[in-house]
Amino acid sequence: MIFKLFFNMFQLFPQKEKTTFVASFGDNIFHVADQLSKTQNHEIIFLINPKCPINFDNIKNSKVYFFECINLFHWIISIYHISTSKMVFVDNYYGFLSVTNFKPNVQCVQLWHAAGAVKKFGLKDPTIKGRPDTAKKRIESVYKRHSHITVGSEKMASIIHHSFGVDDEAILRTGIPRTDFFFDDEKKQLVIEQTKDEFPVIESKKVILYAPTFRDGEFDLTDINLDLQSMYEELKDDYVVFLRIHPAVKFNLKNNYSSFVYDVSDYYSVNHLLLITDYLITDYSSIPFEFSLLRKPMIFYMYDLDEYKKKPGIWMEFENNIPGPVAQNTSEIISIIKEHKFDYTTIEKFAAEWNQYSKGNSSETLIRELYPSKVDEIIVKTN
């Protein structure tokens, strides 16, 4: 109610030539904002969750405020910018959108943080059935605020259609902005060299990255479902294990294997970590969709698969084409790695299907779609 009050009040102010980004994850937003800053000169506003790992300070003509925090000034000024912008980008589900009755000329673009989907979400989340009608209406009203939603494939377009309850006209088949990075060979090589400087051990050993998804109620972890002792005994001579725990989880690892296990949960760029990863271990996370672009092997550690199918549920589009062996315990993981049991044809097919529109120019394509006249003007002046 308080948000709605301020929003409606600021709606009386004149709109400004600016774009406002609301960021939780930040990587898609960074790529879009960086491209946008090269094609126009109006103000760019970043409203970021305090846990957002991305630094936006180098984007020209920009200002950064903390959103969803206890800083009252930042919170109120954030509402002002959302109310007076003609273009608003978000990268997550935001409950405040349920009360943002935008003016007709405003576009609210959802840069959804996942390139694909394993677990069900949105209107297809099974837990929605047990919620009060008021909660259901609020969720539906949030999705209705999105004028556009970006996707990287027809598979994801179908999932977004059902999960958000939107028409096909709202779906932008421009690709996933953050995947542009994987098509820039020069930048990738530079990042690999920088990462080697940060983690010298990877010069002599291969990297196993364990990146599990967030599980409901899992906000504090002191241990994980990997037998690190067994992995150490079997793999320590040739491998190291990097742990990337979901940012929503407070992770306090009691690490008894300092030369073998590394906690990279707070590392600012998962894309950079993927470049130096030799084997990805994950479960229901969206990481495999980007990682498949590198054509590297993956293991799906789905020790709770039967339970997960019931709640929150798994999309058949993914389950019928999992791009790697499924393991139920650590022993199976070790065996798969040592025997190299991988089907690269399946990985290749998976990458092609889920990254159908992500070809290295997704950010530019999106900006052309949403700011056509401004982009064309800049190109003409440049030529």
- What kind and span of H or E run contains 344? helix 344-354
Strands (E), the chain: 16-23, 43-48, 62-66, 85-90, 107-110, 148-150, 171-172, 206-210, 220-221, 239-243, 250-251, 261-263, 279-282, 298-301, 326-327
For residue 217, the model assigns a pLDDT of 61
For residue 381, the model assigns a pLDDT of 45
- CA distances to 56, 65, 138, 154, 212 from 32, rounded to whole Å, are 11, 18, 28, 21, 27
Alpha helices in 48-184 (DSSP H): 72-84, 133-144, 154-164
Instruction: State the Cα–Cα distance between residues 42 and 55, nearest whole angstrom.
Output: 20
User: Residue 157: pLDDT above 70?
Assistant: yes
pLDDT tens across 115-142, in order? 999 999 999 988 888 889 999 999 999 9
Instruction: State the Cα–Cα distance between residues 345 and 174, nearest whole angstrom.
Output: 26
For residue 219, the model assigns a pLDDT of 56
107 and 148 Cβ atoms separated by less than 8 Å? yes
pLDDT tens across 101-112, in order? 999 999 999 999
pLDDT tens across 86-104, in order? 999 999 999 999 999 999 9
Confidence of residue 172 (pLDDT cuts 50, 70, 90): very high
R_g of the chain computed on alpha carbons: 21
Ordered structural domains, the chain, with CATH? 2-176+359-382 (3.40.50.11820), 184-354 (3.40.50.12580)
Q: How are beta strands 279-282 and 298-301 bridged, if at all?
A: parallel
SS (H, E, C) 184-199: CHHHHHHHHHHHHHHC
pLDDT tens across 11-39, in order? 999 999 999 999 999 999 999 999 999 98
Instruction: State the Cα–Cα distance between residues 328 and 221, nearest whole angstrom.
Output: 20
Bridge partner residues of 153 (DSSP) = none
pLDDT tens across 210-263, in order? 999 877 666 555 568 899 999 999 999 999 999 998 766 777 777 888 899 999
For residue 382, the model assigns a pLDDT of 45
User: Residue 316: pLDDT above 90?
Assistant: no
Residue with tokens 């990268």: 91
